[in-house]
Structure 1
Amino acid sequence: MGVVAVATEDGTSPKKDDPVAAVDDATTATTAPETTDPPTTDAPATTEAPEPEPTTEPTTEPPADPEPEPEPVETRSQANAREAAEDYLEYAPFSKSGLVKQLEFEGYSKKDARYAVNAIDVNWNEQAARSAEAYLEYTNFSRSGLIQQLEFEGYTPAQATYGVRQTGL
């Protein structure tokens, strides 16, 4: 066990034969370490309060965008059908269903033809307007007759009406 040190009220050591200085070990005694090495401490030698830890300001940068999902891989047959659909639309207007039928007529499966038509970026209203204009270049139509003709070609009623409206009928 270590050395017991006793202190009086004025902070001095009690005298060895002073009976008044005898105190209960449990209330005023402290146990010193058994080693003779000076005590070590991690605290700074000064009596100043430690400096507060620097606070981290929240960043104002937006979070990084998540990685884009990889594009689905199209089969060779789907790629060919998609390219054929794009080629057809370069020289002639088609409705969505009319283009699917044309691709099927060319020998593409229904699945590949539908894939191709859905994989391309097409404004079907503009296709209807091009079709309406093409019909009027070689024959005369009434407004309602041209709308019916476009619907027969596979355009929706809204697309057919839009297309005819663009011709001025």
Structure 2
Amino acid sequence: MNMIRLVGIAVLSFSMLGAPITSAQDLTSAQKNAVRSAKNYLSFQAFSRRGLIDQLSSPYGDDYDVADATAAVDSLSVDWNAQAVRSAKTYLEMMGFSCNGLIRQLSSDAGDKYTESQATYGAQQAGAC
């Protein structure tokens, strides 16, 4: 296996765990702009890590490169459990959900894309369970 592939796997592994892989001063200009966009999104709406990366990298969103969006999000200090609670409360303000239904909505790839544990925490803290 070549070295570039190994480095890419290591970076992907760290970013999948949510561990910051770069400091703010090491970011490129595009990544710094993506950080500004991410902070703006988080100021008015809750996002999961994957949901925020998808929003930043979507051609229908900000259209940043996925690697730049990932580096930007991973450079932030975000409490993803707290974001899941915000999302859960928003859903419960709009309509009724069972505990399991809200967890599925929060963790679904077609929904908010929180991890199962974050979705469970959010549903519980929001009072659905």
User: Is the TM value for this pair above 0.5?
Assistant: yes
1:129 Cα offset (Å):
0.3
Q: Which residue of 1 aligns with 2:90?
A: 134
TM-score by length of 2: 0.74
Which residue in 2 is equivalent to 1:103? 56
Q: Residue 9 of structure 2 corresponds to which residue in structure 1?
A: none
- Classify the secondary structure of the residue corresponding to 1:88: helix
Any idea what SS the aligned residue of 1:160 has? helix
**Secondary structure at the counterpart of residue 26 of structure 2:** coil
CA shift for structure 1 position 71: 6.8
- Figure out how many residues of one structure are paired with residues of the other and give that number: 100
Query: In 2, Cα distance between the equivalents of 1:75 and 1:155?
Result: 27
Query: In the superposition, relative to structure 1, how do residues 108 and 167 fare at CA in structure 2: closer, same or farther (>3 Å)?
Result: same
**Which has the larger Rg?**
1
1:8-32 CA distance string (max 9 Å, x none): xxxxxxxxxxxxxxxxxxxxxxxxx
Query: 1:123–1:71: structure 2 CA closer, same or farther, 3 Å change rule?
Result: closer
**Aligned counterparts of 1:93 and 1:72: Cα–Cα separation in 2:** 26
Higher relative contact order (CA 8 A, sep 6+): 2
Ranges in structure 1 where 5+ consecutive residues have no aligned partner: 1-69
Runs of 4+ off more than 6 Å: none
- The answer on whether the counterparts of 2:24 and 2:75 sit within 8 Å (CA) in structure 1 is no
SS of 1:107's partner is coil
RMSD: 1.4
> How many angstroms does 1:72 deviate by?
4.4
Gaps of at least 5 residues in structure 2 are 1-22
SS in 2 for 1:130: helix
Which structure dedicates a bigger proportion of its chain to helix?
Answer: 2
